Amino acid sequence: MSEPILRVDSVRKAFASVQAVDGVSLEVHEGEVFGLLGPNGAGKSTLIRIVVDIYRPDEGAVALFGSPMDRQDLDRIGYLPEERGLYRKRKIIQVLTYLGQLKGLSKSDAETSADHWLGQLGMSEHRDSRVETLSKGNQQKIQLIGTLVGCPRLLIWDEPFSGLDPVNVAQVRDMIRGLRDSGMTVVLSTHLMDQAEILCDRVALVDHGHVVLQGTVDEAKAAVGARTLEEAFLRAVSA
C-alpha cells in the first residue's frame, strides 16, 4: 500500500484540565473517503485543527503527503471548519475568486474554477449575488465550493451537512462520491453516522478524545457485532 496522504501518530492535546485528544493515531490513504465520527465534543474538531496547524499538539506528530507537516502543505488542503465565515457583503464570485487566489491561483484561474464548482452544485445563477442574500443552506454550499476552488489534493470537511435540507444533503453526498471517483481524498468529520455509513470507505470512531473503533465500515461493525455504525459506536463506548 502507498504512503498515507495523512498520518496522525499518538497525538495528544489538552486545554487546562480537559484532555481533548488523547493518543490518537490514524492513517488516511489517497482516493478514499475517511470518516472521523463521534458525538459533539468527542475531540474531532480539535484533531482537525491540529492537522491543519491551527493548534500544535502537546505530544505526537502529523505527516502530510508522506512528510512531516509543513505550512506549505496547507495550500494543498481544502478545509471546511466547523465555524462558518463568509464575506457577507461581497458577491459570491468575488469571495470564491479571492479564496482561490489565497491558494496560489491566478485571478483568472480562480474565477474559472469557481464558476465550474458553482455549476456542479447548481449555484451558477447566484454567482453575482451578495452572500447575505442566500439562505443558510446555500451559504453552506458556497462554503463547500470555497474549499474546492484552489484545486486541493486533500479535503477536510467538518460537519459539511450542517444547515442543509434533505435535497441538498443528497446533492452534497453525490458530490462527495464524485470527488472520490475522480481520485480526491476526503476526510469527513460528522456526528451523522447514517451519512458516514453510506459514504465512507474507512472510519475512526472517536469518544472523549480516544479512537474506540477503526477500520472499514464493515470491520468496525463486525468488531462489536453491530448492524449499523451508530450501534457499533454505542457498543464500543459501553464496553
Residue range 115-142, pLDDT digits in tens = 999 999 999 999 999 999 999 889 999 9
**Which H helix or E strand runs over 168?**
helix 166-181
Instruction: Give the type of residue at 216.
Output: T
pLDDT band at 36 (very low <50, low <70, confident <90, very high): very high
Residue range 140-198, pLDDT digits in tens = 999 999 999 999 999 999 999 988 899 989 999 999 999 999 999 999 998 888 889 99
At residue 70, the pLDDT reads 84
**CA–CA gap between residue 156 and residue 112 (Å, rounded):** 22
Residue range 39-74, pLDDT digits in tens = 888 899 999 999 999 999 999 999 999 888 888 888
Instruction: Give the type of residue at 120.
Output: Q
What pTM was computed for the model?
Answer: 0.92
- Cell matching residue 217: 465500515
Bridge partners (DSSP) listed for residue 64: 6, 67
Closest CA to 23 of 64, 66, 58: 58
The mean per-residue pLDDT over the stretch 204-213 comes to 93
- What is the CATH number that goes with domain 6-86+153-238? 3.40.50.300
**Which H helix or E strand runs over 143?**
helix 136-148
CA 112 to chain centre: 23
**Cα→Cα distances 219→10, 34, 228, Å:** 22, 14, 11
At residue 155, the pLDDT reads 96
Who contacts 116 (Cβ-Cβ below 8 Å, separation ≥6)? none
Mean pLDDT is lowest, of 93-97, 160-164, 204-208, for: 160-164
Residue range 96-109, pLDDT digits in tens = 999 999 999 999 99
**CA–CA gap between residue 207 and residue 230 (Å, rounded):** 13
Residue range 212-234, pLDDT digits in tens = 999 999 999 999 999 999 999 89
The three-state DSSP-derived secondary structure of 101-125 is HHCCCCHHHHHHHHHHHHHHCCCHH
Who contacts 83 (Cβ-Cβ below 8 Å, separation ≥6)? none
Cβ-contact 212, 235 below 8 angstroms? no
Pairing status of strand 154-158 against strand 77-80? parallel
pLDDT band at 87 (very low <50, low <70, confident <90, very high): confident
Question: Domain extents for the chain?
Answer: 6-86+153-238
| Average per-residue pLDDT for the chain | 92
**Which H helix or E strand runs over 95?**
helix 92-102
Q: pLDDT at residue 2 above 70?
A: no
Q: In what order do the strands lie in the sheet with 6-15?
A: 18-28, 6-15, 59-64, 67-68
The mean per-residue pLDDT over the stretch 15-28 comes to 94
**CA–CA gap between residue 147 and residue 156 (Å, rounded):** 9
pLDDT band at 1 (very low <50, low <70, confident <90, very high): low
